[in-house]
Structure 1
């Protein structure tokens, strides 16, 4: 990349276009978001890649994904746009106060385990703040965070190339649990084996997620394999209903079912899941500056995580 050429020819439209495609992971949706034609978006991206001197996005029939160089560039592009927005607000004419907003990304399991108490306490001290919570798998959380769609996220560590520009603060470590309805035959017997578990229909996380990888590794370490006819889902609420109504066995991160287990609404099978533990923590953009409200909510989330960390 020729520094002088890049600095003299780069335009805000290049950054807005690139960030929009990174957020939407699709040129058509990005074009609609920017009210531009798809060819215009494609041309702008090509101009940017020529200025940078590197391929930033891989385009295909299934969407657009960031290259390693694109991951690095996104960190700085989002930072530039945020800095310009802050500068405009600082020197612009005074406007009527707008409602502060904190946007959070979270794993579905962490949403149930940490956020109810944290958000309840947050409401007492930040009643005029709007909170937006988005649940997603870890890879999507990282993409949303790096593209500036959320202020911070509750998620897991990922491969180093996916953690570019992102910091991780450990909250707690959670294992997988094998749970059923209280009246399930395996729960009544009390001496269930893993082989017996595999005779029942299973609910597991989708492929590509950390819990799914840990589930498969856990079974393989014991000479077993996950059956092909499992039900895969991220939805905690749907899985919970299916387990309560039928004879499913649910392999799930412990945080998602902690409250139900304590209340007796679900039953934990007496089977060791040692080796499935996975760290859960706060994900933040390394170079971002969070609002006072966002920092307050982070503090409350840390407090909510204290019992799990102690356990």
Structure 2
């Protein structure tokens, strides 16, 4: 029955899940409401199940609707990926890969792996999305990414993913180069009480594991805080102020080498754990993804 699904029905399912209104979904797809109604009715008749419930909050997907919407997203993502790969091949390219990564992986591991990948496969189209693990996992689930470098903390109760550990992730307290605290010989966490900070937003994996660290600085979390998910914004704020931040060691080392930041002489426990390769169990790896992972692991071995 699912073989008879039409692309317009798939698009309507996704539009309905976002708009919660048949009228708005039809308008978003440039079709009339009667047409949208008929498409939905035909789909529900084909599967023999109610996919949406109408209520005061609009059209809400049923448990069956949630399942088919999820698969609709994956099907359309696969079709779009196929279109882009064909487009790349027809213009002289050799394929396409979309990589998601936490910031920790960027300065050394991912940058070196992708640079070597492009040296051998110059026609390969590479897209890199950077974010926190909790923000990137949904993109992988929807088929918007081919592979993800992320932390396993956000994969609990997510059996649809494969995880392969790559490396531990030390974190460090940093400030602008020349910060007064950097010259302290016996700096302790308690000495940072009253400092201003720039941190990742609440709910992110790093912010969660920092709670015991901040408990040693003073009661509760710091109050003088600028929150941002952008590492570039953090670095810019540090340059213009006496703020402090917590960053992965590879990010710190990269910016220290370029004279932007310095590491405060305080050792933090390995509370972030590791990060690794995340892929979907129900999707075979494309040749481009397999090639990228080979370069990634070869780069990792050079660090060992």
TM-score normalised by the chain length of structure 2: 0.76
Q: Give 1:235's aligned residue.
A: 230
Q: Is the 8 A contact 1:211 1:253 kept in 2?
A: no
Query: d(CA) in 2 for partners of 1:296 and 1:138?
Result: 23
Of 124, 129, 136, the residue aligned with 1:141 is 136
Please state if 1:131 is matched with 2:120: no
Q: Is the 8 A contact 2:191 2:217 kept in 1?
A: no
Of 244, 249, 266, the residue aligned with 2:261 is 266
Q: Is the 8 A contact 1:110 1:154 kept in 2?
A: yes
Partner SS for 2:210: helix
Aligned ranges for residues 174-193 of structure 1 at < 5 Å?
174-193=169-188
Q: Give 1:206's aligned residue.
A: 201
Q: Is the 8 A contact 2:49 2:64 kept in 1?
A: no
- Superposed CA deviations along residues 169-225 of structure 1, whole A, max 9, x for unmatched, are 111120221011231121111322212223221111111110111112332367642
Distance verdict in 2 for CA 1:231–1:88, change over 3 Å: closer
Residue 142 of structure 1: how far off its partner (Å): 1.1
Distance verdict in 2 for CA 1:119–1:183, change over 3 Å: same
Of 236, 244, 249, the residue aligned with 2:244 is 249
Distance verdict in 2 for CA 1:249–1:8, change over 3 Å: closer
Query: d(CA) in 1 for partners of 2:282 and 2:126?
Result: 22
Query: d(CA) in 2 for partners of 1:298 and 1:11?
Result: 34
- Superposed CA deviations along residues 116-164 of structure 1, whole A, max 9, x for unmatched, are 2112111111111111112222222111111111111111221434x24
The structure having more radius of gyration, on CA atoms, is 2
Partner SS for 1:203: strand
Residue 40 of structure 1: how far off its partner (Å): 7.7
Structure 2: runs of 5+ lacking an equivalent? none
Q: Is the 8 A contact 2:252 2:263 kept in 1?
A: no
Pairwise CA RMSD of aligned residues? 4.3
Query: d(CA) in 2 for partners of 1:208 and 1:302?
Result: 30
Structure 1: runs of 5+ lacking an equivalent? 1-5
